[in-house]
A = this chain, B = another copy of it.
Amino acid sequence: MDRASRREFIRVAAAAAAVSPAALSYAPQPSLRLPRDVRVAIIGFEGHYSEILEVASANPQVKLVAVAEQNPALSKRASANRLLSEATPYEDYRQMLDKEALDIVAVCGQNHTRARIVQECADRRLAIVAEKPLAMDLEELEATRRSIAANGVRLTILLPMRFSPVYQRMRAIVQNGEIGEVVCMAAQKSYKLGERPDWMKKRATFGGIIPYIGIHMVDLMLWTSGREFVEASAFQSNVGFPAYGEMENNAAVIFKLDNQGTATVRLDYLRPAKAPTHGDDRLRLAGTKGVVEAQEANGLWLITGQKPPEQIRDLPAAGFLFADFLESVYKGKRHLISLEEIFRVNEIVLKAREAAERHTIVRV
């Protein structure tokens, strides 16, 4: 199970067992030795804020000083976590932003609130860690891009799969030329459906399966392959689960690459409850000289013209998105996800959703 899946599993397991996330332990992490303490707030407990808590748990310099959440049930559950026990709770995030002296805000609420909150944080010159997607449509995305640029603030989004040893290694294999030029990519996200909050069941507040989970695989495909996407076509729907309203439980997306190669992405919320992990992530890159592939159940495999299939067990250490971001903000390190990449991947998934909704091939 990679880290993103593990976190998702922890989140779902915690929800399913109705236990506090405080009962769960986090992966060991290096101390960051930041030049000073960092005051962090979390807005919204809908998203994967465990990314923040994991890093805070290993770094006492990361102070969780405030949290804002309108939903009392989510607030109550989060407040049981020792890392959040000192945080001042707010219902209104604007009040929190007005009152608290903050360095970084994690924007983890419902999808439809994100772009607006990110812009408000940018206006206050705060560094921002945002859930994905960053915006609900291209207009919001463009407004957010302008706001970030105008305010000159730092931004990252929760695409932690880039920090997974498997995908880091996959990218290195491509960069080393081991599979030649990438021609044909295939990715899968298959999740357990489980219970979902009401906001995920409406297009206006959720935004769709492609921006929400497709974004991980679009980002990984671009990042590992070094290629760009130029066109998209997509179908999506909810079949068999009317209680989930407008939340799609399946999608099929194809992309044309900048070298005229192709990519397919399949997304579903059909993973059976008895499956060993919450997600069944897969990514396969076929190039002119070889194929490299990661499957949740099988690990990372490489086949080239030079040698038979080989499982790649020599993997780099796992990275931590929020730790990497902190080091970029406070220690001048280059963050693994650039601003340009953040806006580009959001643009692509919104345009791919548009392809599905407008029922046409879209230039991305």
A residues near B (Cβ < 8 Å) are 180-181, 183-184, 186, 188, 190, 231, 233-237, 239-241, 249-256, 259-266, 268, 270-276, 286-291, 297-298, 303-309, 359-361
Across the A-B interface, the 7 shortest Cβ-Cβ residue pairs: A252-B262, A240-B288, A233-B233, A237-B260, A184-B250, A270-B286, A252-B254
10 more A-B contacts (CB under 8 A) besides A237-B260, A239-B261, A270-B288? A181-B240, A183-B250, A183-B270, A184-B252, A233-B254, A237-B262, A251-B262, A262-B266, A268-B286, A274-B306
Could you name 29 residue pairs across A and B whose Cβ atoms are closer than 8 Å? A181-B239, A183-B268, A184-B252, A184-B270, A186-B188, A190-B291, A233-B254, A233-B361, A234-B254, A235-B255, A235-B262, A251-B262, A252-B254, A252-B262, A254-B254, A254-B264, A264-B266, A270-B287, A271-B286, A272-B289, A272-B304, A273-B305, A274-B308, A274-B309, A275-B308, A276-B309, A297-B309, A360-B360, A360-B361
Measured between alpha carbons, how far is A186 from B249 in the docked complex, in Å? 15
Q: Are B252 and A271 in contact, CB atoms less than 8 angstroms apart?
A: no
Which residue of B181, B291, B297 is within 8 Å of A271 (Cβ)?
Answer: B291
- In the assembled complex, which residues on chain B have CB atoms less than 8 Å from the CB atom of A265? 264
| Max chain B Cβ within 10 angstroms of own Cβ: one of A190, A286, A305 | A286
Which residue of B251, B256, B273, B274 is within 8 Å of A235 (Cβ)?
Answer: B256
Q: Are B254 and A253 in contact, CB atoms less than 8 angstroms apart?
A: yes
Measured between alpha carbons, how far is A342 from B346 in the docked complex, in Å? 42
Q: Are A259 and B231 in contact, CB atoms less than 8 angstroms apart?
A: no
CB distance from A249 to the nearest CB of B (A): 7
Closest residue of chain B to A360, judged by CB? Answer: B361
Measured between alpha carbons, how far is A186 from B250 in the docked complex, in Å? 11
Closest residue of chain B to A287, judged by CB? Answer: B270
Measured between alpha carbons, how far is A286 from B252 in the docked complex, in Å? 13
CB distance from A13 to the nearest CB of B (A): 16
Q: Are A235 and B254 in contact, CB atoms less than 8 angstroms apart?
A: yes
- In the assembled complex, which residues on chain B have CB atoms less than 8 Å from the CB atom of A308? 274-276
Closest residue of chain B to A261, judged by CB? Answer: B239
Measured between alpha carbons, how far is A359 from B263 in the docked complex, in Å? 16
Quick one: given A181-B239, A274-B303, A360-B361, are A250 and B262 in contact (CB under 8 Å)?
yes
- In the assembled complex, which residues on chain B have CB atoms less than 8 Å from the CB atom of A290? 272
Quick one: given A190-B291, A276-B309, A291-B270, are A252 and B264 in contact (CB under 8 Å)?
yes
- In the assembled complex, which residues on chain B have CB atoms less than 8 Å from the CB atom of A240? 180-181, 183, 288
Q: Are B252 and A183 in contact, CB atoms less than 8 angstroms apart?
A: no
- In the assembled complex, which residues on chain B have CB atoms less than 8 Å from the CB atom of A255? 235, 252
- In the assembled complex, which residues on chain B have CB atoms less than 8 Å from the CB atom of A231? 235
Quick one: given A264-B264, A288-B239, are A249 and B183 in contact (CB under 8 Å)?
yes
